[in-house]
């Protein structure tokens, strides 16, 4: 069976490739795995049928023969374990790359998302002006530590890996990109990832889908 990835039928990101299916699409293309898409509306996300795939009614999911996975980090790890080229062969280096995958989704991304929620969801609340600088300081500290760890290396470990896919997808979110001028090494890291042929193809695919949806609505 050709694997199926569930994606937004109409992504609210305006075709910028910011939703979490982007990491899964990028990983699949890096690994040379052909796949189909299951576009879902917001209403379809919350149906029992989709919640059987994704308990929280979200995208992405990844369906293969006899198995349905959710959580973009777990899906990317599964793809990287099943195909060559996305994780180091050496066990110690592999374990470190996996540690960086967890760092992307559990140490970096939550602070980035916290800032987005503070602005987009809680922007008009009375506590926001006081809270926002605290969140921004936490995010800057995380980015500074990440920049230190990356140093002048092109990728988190010796070679490009699934960890870079998850980390770069987290850094591409607007709250982090706003701060990139303060972290030129991270900006260059994101640009390196975005220049990879597999990223460019995944980006073009999601953009084409978004444009087709816009045309349908016009």
Binding positions for ligand GTB, rule: CB under 6 A: 12-13, 18-20, 45, 57-60, 71-73
Task: Compare residues 88 and 207 and give the one whose CB is closer to ligand GTB.
Answer: 207
Residue 59 beta carbon to ligand GTB: minimum distance, rounded to whole angstroms: 4
Task: Compare residues 63 and 71 and give the one whose CB is closer to ligand GTB.
Answer: 71
- DSSP sequence for 155-209: SSSSS--HHHHHHHHHHTSHHHHTTGGG-HHHHHHHHHHHTSHHHHHHHHHHHHH
> Which 3 state secondary structure label does DSSP give 63?
strand
> Which 3 state secondary structure label does DSSP give 140?
helix
Task: Compare residues 86 and 169 and give the one whose CB is closer to ligand GTB.
Answer: 169
Task: Compare residues 120 and 137 and give the one whose CB is closer to ligand GTB.
Answer: 120
Residue 11 beta carbon to ligand GTB: minimum distance, rounded to whole angstroms: 6
> Which 3 state secondary structure label does DSSP give 216?
helix
In angstroms, the Cα distances linking 161 to 12, 48, 216 are 28, 35, 37
Residue 115 beta carbon to ligand GTB: minimum distance, rounded to whole angstroms: 13
Residue 160 beta carbon to ligand GTB: minimum distance, rounded to whole angstroms: 21
């Amino acid at each position: 069976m050709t694997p199926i990835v569930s994606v937004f039928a109409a992504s609210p990101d305006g075709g910028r490739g910011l939703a979490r299916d982007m990491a899964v699409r990028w990983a699949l293309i890096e690994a040379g795995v052909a796949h189909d898409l299951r576009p879902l509306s917001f209403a379809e996300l919350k149906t029992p049928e989709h919640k059987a795939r994704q308990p929280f009614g979200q995208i992405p999911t990844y369906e293969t023969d006899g198995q349905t996975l959710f959580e973009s980090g777990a899906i990317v790890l599964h793809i990287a374990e099943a195909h060559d080229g996305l994780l180091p062969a050496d066990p110690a280096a592999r374990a470190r790359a996996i540690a960086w995958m967890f760092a992307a989704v559990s140490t970096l991304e939550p602070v980035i998302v916290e800032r987005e929620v503070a602005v987009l969801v809680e922007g008009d609340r009375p506590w926001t002006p006081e809270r926002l600088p605290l969140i921004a300081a936490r995010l800057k500290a995380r980015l500074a530590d990440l920049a230190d760890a990356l140093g002048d290396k092109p990728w988190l470990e010796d070679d490009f890996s699934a960890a870079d896919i998850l980390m770069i997808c987290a850094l591409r979110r607007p709250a982090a990109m706003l701060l990139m001028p303060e972290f030129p090494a991270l900006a260059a890291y994101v640009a390196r990832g975005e220049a990879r042929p597999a990223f460019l193809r995944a980006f073009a695919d999601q953009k084409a889908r978004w444009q087709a949806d816009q045309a349908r609505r016009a």
